[in-house]
Chain A
């Protein structure tokens, strides 16, 4: 997204709010941009930063070719500061450095921009430190906080920012984008359910690991209906060695969730919404017969709970074991 009119296509409201404030020269001192993965938070932040620094602004659009724009793109502009979560959260040390930056004057210009990615991961201490800056902004600084989980932002922070809500992407639109870029339709449907990011979708589909995990997932579901006694063995032999780190485990659960959703869809006769399976799949028909609707409902809940447990640092092996026992 390189111009506001391009942003307009996906996020009409957000684009309008920001372009109007640019034109009227009333850019707020702090924005909280909230929206799901892939809704264009970073693109908007980048664009707004460029607007503030670009040398040849046309209307509200930056030129993308002046040295300021280029350096913002490459992360080398000395007056644009990016704060990203260091591991799981944004640490107090990072905020301390940022605060030091607040009291210095700008390097090249008299204005400064701070972009805080994953603002929901601010630790409570770090968040409270930022508050002070949000309360008494110094002249000509703009803060942009990006989050996909607006619920975990402190209310005290939220109330001091102009909130920009990004609406979720339309999965059909994304599927269309994917098929246009050369992905098969079946894959496109699956990918649009898993991610909103075009690049991720393509790297995943080409990734051997992903193909393997899909196979394991299908096998696992098969096992549930055919040899339920061996499932426990199966997860220890295949599932756990395959899904190693946190991200992979989350993805595994996502896949499992989608698969069981499909089985439910098959039962209630909404075959068109299915993501992982196709209607004529043999194993699907078998599992559909095996699980009752009530049971499926129960399983879906269990998977969601397992995802939550994983987020709260429960040991991944235990989470998976518990889940299989519940199923």
Chain B
């Protein structure tokens, strides 16, 4: 294998790929980075077996030549040393050459490094996903979907399947759902062209968080395809693969109440700030509990009370309140998370009694749904 490459291109790719490589892994080869040279470009791969990132540098794009003198081949290099070497090389171009004894020579200007490589055969083979079975989304939209749901995943290991986000694509509707059994967040969006359908796959929350960090806020399309054990997110030059969680995701649609006794319309920011203030005193209490009480037709009172510290009371005026009077207690943390995820000015909160879960939605928009279970207080 041999090629000469523009150093800045290589640095950018190496940095992307390094995000997937972890130093403490059970499989020794995964401490390395795979470099694959093909006629049309160079591909770098990093993996910690849960997620894998591939970065592709085309030999030529937009009339610019990035990679020259390519001789095909592949090699695995120690990820501990390779990125630093590349970053500190003197010239603008880097020549990388591997011989049949897995010895790699990196040259740039007058600097020369000899590294011991590993056989690329030993590297895990990532599934070859069919590009026909995929659908497209805008990158920023996907990031939004992740942000609005992934916070609700469970961090407990008792029900491992809940540490993932449930993805569902049916009838050109894509739905993300996450729950930790005390609250639930879901978001649904229409997808333009989709020639696959899947009823329930579960992507680890950790992987989605990682993906969220890697993606840029652009409106460029990102292509998503699914096999039975991996999911692939593909942008122009970056492939992000994640393993899926094994198991059945609980049926969540029945949890969502379809009737309501009290409906509250309120400004999101006002409510958010009020609860945030009230929670200052509630923090001492382990559950972070705040209480919401409806007063006459227009105002809502938010109180928190922890006997050792003191109490906080604040009234805010709602847009309107319909239905029965209500007193309900809930975790302020869950409420804040939910309100932050809804990026609309006004929300509609539907209650069905003090002991039943309530749902929060933007006014006139059913695609985002946040559900919270109340706390029993006496």
* Chain A residues packing against B (C-beta within 8 Å): 67, 70-71, 74-78, 81-82, 96-97, 99-100, 102-110, 138-139
Contact = CB atoms under 8 A, between A and B. Distances in A.
A78 B244 contact: no
Contact of B161 (A99, A103, A109): A103
A75 B29 CA distance: 9
Contacts of A70: 121-122
A34 B62 CA distance: 64
B255 interface: no
26 contacts: A71-B121, A74-B122, A75-B27, A75-B28, A76-B27, A76-B28, A76-B29, A81-B26, A82-B26, A99-B157, A102-B246, A103-B160, A103-B246, A103-B247, A104-B204, A104-B245, A104-B246, A105-B230, A105-B244, A105-B245, A105-B246, A106-B243, A107-B229, A107-B230, A109-B229, A138-B247
B355 to A, nearest CB: 32
B299 interface: no
Contact of B122 (A71, A99, A103, A108): A71
B50 interface: yes
A77 to B, nearest CB: 8
A107 B243 contact: yes
A106 B124 CA distance: 11
Given A74-B122, A103-B245, A103-B247, A108 B28 contact: no
B125 A108 contact: yes
B124 A107 contact: yes
Interface of B: 26-30, 49-50, 121-127, 157, 160-161, 163, 204, 228-230, 243-247
Instruction: Name B's interface SS.
Output: loop
Contacts of B124: 76-78, 107-108
A3 to B, nearest CB: 23
Given A70-B121, A74-B122, A105 B49 contact: no
A5 B198 CA distance: 46
A227 to B, nearest CB: 54
B21 to A, nearest CB: 14
B26 A97 contact: yes
Contacts of A105: 228-230, 243-246
B49 A107 contact: yes
A138 B160 CA distance: 13
Contacts of B163: 103
Q: Which of A97, A105, A138 has the most CB of B within 10 A?
A: A105
A82 B49 CA distance: 15
Contacts of A100: 157, 160
B85 to A, nearest CB: 24
B207 to A, nearest CB: 10
A108 B122 CA distance: 13
A100 B48 CA distance: 13
A106 B229 contact: yes
Nearest to A109: B229
Contacts of A138: 246-247
B228 to A, nearest CB: 6
A99 B26 CA distance: 14
Contacts of A104: 50, 204, 243-246
B121 to A, nearest CB: 5
A109 B246 CA distance: 13
Nearest to B24: A97
A174 to B, nearest CB: 32
